[in-house]
Amino acid sequence: MDFDIIQVNQKHKEVLENLMQFYIYDFSEFLQFDVEEDGQYSPYPLEEYFQEGNQRFAYIIKKEEKYVGFVLIHFIDSAELRYYSIAEFFILKKYRREGIGRSAAAHIFNIHKGLWQVHQIESNRPAQIFWNSVINEYTKGQFEERIENCKRIQTFTS
């Protein structure tokens, strides 16, 4: 692994908030987000990722001491199902197609063992292609896929 995945703590909060602006910019293509009066996108609600004992996990990805992306994970614990879900996943364009995203996803799946549901909005075809490929490779084809509420969802166990 020629990159590091670091679990975020309070000292990384500003870095994550700044990287989130680039993520929202990229995602605006699919959800038509606009910037606010100050020229930035509305802040993403990150507070729960910094609270002790919460079921949310944030990781920053670095390569050669440079920030290249992040991963936000939710653990969903409902009466009918307990599973992990990728809330947000981002690699800066400069570092895409180097295998960092694929390797980072596999690393995250290995850290958080159990049932996973990964979803993509229907309009985000690049994300669907990426996640289908990553999950197919990671699980050796042992996953289920469905479309529900305009989202493509892959379910598997890590």
4 C-beta neighbours (distance < 10 Å), count: 15
Structural domain total, the chain: 1
Please state, in angstroms and rounded to a whole number, the distance separating the CA atoms of residues 143 and 134: 11
Find the distance separating the first CA and the last CA of the chain, reported in whole Å: 19
pLDDT of residue 5: 94
pTM of full prediction above 0.85: yes
If residue 17 lies in a helix (H) or strand (E), which one and from where to where? Answer: helix 13-31
Please state, in angstroms and rounded to a whole number, the distance separating the CA atoms of residues 28 and 84: 25
Q: Is 131 a residue whose pLDDT tops 80?
A: yes
pLDDT of residue 1: 66
Q: Which domain holds residue 148?
A: 4-157
Tens digits of residue pLDDT in 73-107: 999 998 888 999 999 999 999 999 899 999 999 99
pLDDT of residue 35: 79
Tens digits of residue pLDDT in 18-72: 999 898 888 787 877 787 888 888 888 888 888 877 799 999 999 999 999 999 9
Q: Cβ distance 92 to 125 under 8 Å?
A: no
Q: Is 145 a residue whose pLDDT tops 70?
A: yes
Which domain CATH number covers 108? 3.40.630.30
pLDDT, greater one: 132 or 36: 132
Q: Is 18 exposed, middle or buried (0-12, 13-18, 19+ CB in 10 A)?
A: exposed
Q: Is 152 a residue whose pLDDT tops 70?
A: yes
pLDDT of residue 153: 94
Q: Is 73 exposed, middle or buried (0-12, 13-18, 19+ CB in 10 A)?
A: buried
Q: Is 141 exposed, middle or buried (0-12, 13-18, 19+ CB in 10 A)?
A: exposed
